[in-house]
Amino acid sequence: MLQRLSAGSAFLSLLMVFSLNLVSAEEQKKNSATDVSVQLQSWEELQDWVANQKGKVVVVDVWSTFCLPCVREFPHFVEFHESHKDLVACASMNIDFYGGKGQKPEDNSEKVLKFLKSRNATMHNIIATNPDETVLQQIKTAAIPAAIIYDRNGKLHKIFNNDEDLYGPKGFNYDQHITPLVEKLLN
């Protein structure tokens, strides 16, 4: 009988530890989702932020909720950020704002924040206050997704886009294109 009680106690102890781990994981997810925020910034303010990231490689992902390739690649950007956040500063720049009559950049805040929270995007998140075309002109690209890489000195190193099909029909991605370049810049 003592053995049965011990086995039952051991089972209950394991169950309690397992339950505590589940709660802990759920709490961690909830806490990290609250760490997700977004702010309105102009292209110039983003450049100031980049300049303040002294000694770090900077990756800026330019995207829109309307862009299926952007939405598809975004989880890989989040994974990249999580695995490199000690040495790399990451920012996402949403360009849903197109500057139409009566439209304001903040009109998209709720939708963008919901998307970012669903992806647990804890990096520096921006909704561009410049119209999308202005941002695209700044990075000399015709369409998104785009990723902008700055070296440790804040100098523009490379812009990834799919304008010329350099990365095949699916375009650039973090695993094959961005991560190797960033790791090279870190060494």
pLDDT at residue number 114: 98
Tell me what pLDDT residue 34 has: 66
Secondary structure letter of residue 149 according to DSSP: E
- CB neighbours (10 Å) of residue 69? 17
Residue 139: per-residue pLDDT: 95
pLDDT of residue 45: 98
- List, in sequence order, every beta strand (DSSP E) within 15-141: 39-41, 57-63, 88-94, 124-128
**What pLDDT is recorded for position 162?**
81
What pLDDT is recorded for position 20?
42
- Yes or no: say if 131 and 97 are a contact pair by the CB < 8 Å rule: yes
> Tell me, what's the pLDDT at 18?
39
Instruction: Quote the pTM value.
Output: 0.81
CA proximity to 64, closest of 15, 112, 106, 136: 112
User: What pLDDT is attached to residue 27?
Assistant: 43
Q: Which residue numbers in the chain have pLDDT < 70?
A: 1-34, 165, 168
pLDDT score of 33: 53
